[in-house]
Amino acid sequence: MVRATVVWDGPEANIIRVFVEPALPSGAVAHDEEITLYRALDQNEEPTGPVTGIEIVGFLGFDRWDALPKLDLLWQLPGQEPLPLDELLKREQRRLRQEAERAASLA
């Protein structure tokens, strides 16, 4: 299990980032056009180590859960139960969609 933190840039940017805590020196590796993985740096400062984070562009509408890497660990946000990464992201997506809908209704 890893402890994690979420960074959300809001519905305009619509990018979510989830990182392990404590933060590790990491490098970005494009997984596809929407998904970027962050991996720990090896002794040559190349991002080849374990996954230390993920970034998803277009998160509120993201539905390609099968495109996420299969990781054998649980991710835990503060005050919440540990979950596989895809389940954690689905829960965050539901929460952020509700938040965006509330904000839009007040505008």
Question: What is the average pLDDT score of the chain?
Answer: 94
> How many folded domains does the chain comprise?
1
For position 66, what pLDDT does the model report? 95
- What pLDDT digit, counting tens, does each position of 53-76 carry? 999 999 999 999 999 998 999 999
77: containing domain: 2-106
DSSP 33-75: SSEEEEEEE-TTS-EEEEEEEEEEETGGG---GGGS---SSEE
- If you average pLDDT over residues 77-82, what whole number do you get? 97
